[in-house]
Structure 1
Amino acid sequence: MTQLDRSEALALLASVSLGRIVFTQNALPTVRPVNHVIDRGQIVLRTHAGAALTLQTGRAGNGGVVVAYEADAIDPVTHLGWSVIVTGYARLVDDPEDLARYHAMLEPWVAQTMDHAVRIRPDLVSGFRLTAQPLAG
């Protein structure tokens, strides 16, 4: 296993469209799979009015809420690949121009109206690459 530097980790994160967001709901950790896009160094996801993440980030105001975001690409046969974990503040997007741009950039994977967006600022970025072990000999 080799550690990734910040720029390599963010580049790998940008190479996939699905990840998992971890946030607090009722004082307990909650995990949701979501699709994302990277825009100007920040992770953007779409959500809807009644979603727990929308409610949490909407209540937080400009300070946002602390979240973790994880994405990976690991081959189940070879066990090779990578994983990236980002921790940062998530904020509900309230600028109409940004919101319209994100609606054009990111198509939701679920058949539901996703009229909100959440932006995550990656404050802590870590990751690793699973590499092949050299043969003993």
Structure 2
Amino acid sequence: MQLDSSGLQVLSREECLRLMSSTPIGRIVFTDRALPAVQPVAFLLDGERIVIRTGIGSKLAAATRQAVVAFEVDEFDPELRTGWSVTAVGHARAVTDPGEMSRLASLPLTPWAPGSKDHYIVVEAERISGRRIIGGHASAATTLPRPES
């Protein structure tokens, strides 16, 4: 098991892809009018490609055409203080080929947001990295108080 300088487990590309495929929601990071933007999206993996279904006129569709984007997924257990995070970086492209659009439409990708979502964005995951915290323990000095219920 390889650890980084912070003591977090460094995940292999294969493990990162396995973890990414285990969750239906991720966050895409892109540039909108020269400012960073983050948007949660439903997605799925098609091999090593990240597939997002959105509306053709959406801000996300416009901002990600031929752009370099980041994509992040994670899962954490606050009680056990364990979890993982995976980040992918790559070029996003709008799918315009009718054959590819038809194939992507047959995948089990259902958008969560209402409205017409007949446009597909594919992110080629050129770089993928991930970290896992295992059995994290908090000292009394770093434990945050829990709100009263």
TM-score w.r.t. structure 2 length? 0.81
When the two chains are superposed, the root-mean-square deviation of aligned CA atoms in Å is 1.3
2: distance between equivalents of 1:133 and 1:54? 39
Match of 2:88 among 86, 89, 92: 86
Match of 2:123 among 107, 120, 124: 120
1: distance between equivalents of 2:89 and 2:64? 15
2:38 alignment counterpart:
31
Q: Is the 8 A contact 2:53 2:118 kept in 1?
A: yes
SS in 2 for 1:44: strand
> Which residue type is aligned with residue 107 of structure 1?
T
Select the structure of larger CA radius of gyration.
2
2: distance between equivalents of 1:124 and 1:75? 26
Deviation at 1:68, TM superposition (A): 0.3
1: distance between equivalents of 2:17 and 2:78? 23
2: distance between equivalents of 1:121 and 1:43? 7
> Which residue type is aligned with residue 82 of structure 1?
W
> Which residue type is aligned with residue 41 of structure 1?
E
SS in 2 for 1:36: strand
Identity %: 40
2:9 alignment counterpart:
2
Structure number with higher relative contact order (C-alpha < 8 Å, ≥ 6 residues apart)? 1
The structure 1 segments of at least 4 consecutive aligned residues displaced by more than 4 Å after TM superposition are none
Match of 2:111 among 108, 111, 114: 108
2: distance between equivalents of 1:32 and 1:129? 23
Q: Is the 8 A contact 2:30 2:37 kept in 1?
A: yes
- Structure 1 window deviating more from structure 2 (70-79 vs 29-38): it is 70-79
SS in 2 for 1:54: helix
1: distance between equivalents of 2:30 and 2:131? 22
1:15 alignment counterpart:
22
Structure with the bigger percentage of helix = 1
In structure 2, runs of 5+ residues without a counterpart are 1-7, 138-149
TM-score w.r.t. structure 1 length? 0.88
